[in-house]
A = this chain, B = another copy of it.
Amino acid sequence: MRNLFSVTIICLSFLILGIFWSLSNNLQQVAARLGENLVVTLFLNKDLPEKDALEIRDKAGRSPVIESLRMVTADEAKERFQASFPELRDVLANLKANPFPASIEAVLRPDRAGPDAVAAFLQSMTATAGVEDVQYNRDWIERVRSLGRLTRAIGLFLGGILVLASFFIISNVIKLNVLSRKNEIEILRLVGGTNTFIRIPFLIEGTILGILGGLVSLVFLAVLIQAFPLYLGSSLGALQELLSFRALSISQGLALVAGGAVIGWLGSLTSVSKFLKA
């Protein structure tokens, strides 16, 4: 009975842990994807010769924060606008000239786009002749940063609480297990068993319990990951990506099982050792 209890507790702890791990995996990926979308738009002077535009592009390309650059012609900008606001097609049709400027879209490297580096880049580009205006969605940057913080916060708060709780629960269950066999340990010592002889069965038992708990929780987690999107339906859009479960990688799964084994082993070791004193 008590062994069933141990496995269940270990399994539940790991299941909760795994759920958060999986969610956190996901948030990190979303954060990374958002990070890829850091875009600075350099609006060019109207009727700037293509040669100058290319020069500006090359200058921007030398900055270390730039990942890639893309020229957007005035026609392209107009088409985009029309696609985005079909109701305004009439308005544009009424215009003689294309009111949209050509621009260069610069995608930043998220790993290097620190506030100082980006500020320096923006300043140098603003000062460049031929660049009419520089647009940079600071809000997005802030949002990405905050999302990163959020991921870490969830990781630290809940993950921390749960790891501690798991360890506490598991080691206590094993302690109770050992306590219920305190008598046995004492008797083995009294008839001349060496400490190693006495420890081994407990260590094996604890490790097996831990591994079992880890494995069972992985199975539940897999089921959950399969079942969750089905239940949710497929129309959440961006939100769904943000909150859906992503399967743990094989190494993360192995880490969970190995964690179970280590916890079981350590828990047994410390618990048994208490009774090997006299």
Contacts and interface: CB of A to CB of B under 8 A. Distances in A.
Interface of A: 5, 8-9, 12, 15-16, 19, 43, 87-88, 90-91, 94-95, 99-101, 133, 139, 142-143, 145-147, 149-150, 153, 157-158, 161-162, 165, 168-169, 172, 176, 224, 228, 231-233, 235-237, 239-240, 243
Contacts of A95: 91, 94-95
Main SS of chain A's interface residues? helix
A153 B99 contact: no
Contact of A161 (B12, B142, B143): B12
Given A8-B168, A87-B101, A150-B236, 14 more contacts: A12-B168, A16-B161, A91-B95, A94-B95, A94-B99, A143-B236, A143-B239, A146-B233, A149-B231, A149-B232, A149-B233, A153-B232, A157-B224, A157-B231
B240 A146 contact: yes
B239 A150 contact: yes
A244 to B, nearest CB: 9
9 contacts: A8-B168, A16-B162, A87-B133, A142-B235, A143-B235, A143-B236, A146-B239, A147-B239, A153-B231
A13 to B, nearest CB: 9
B146 A232 contact: yes
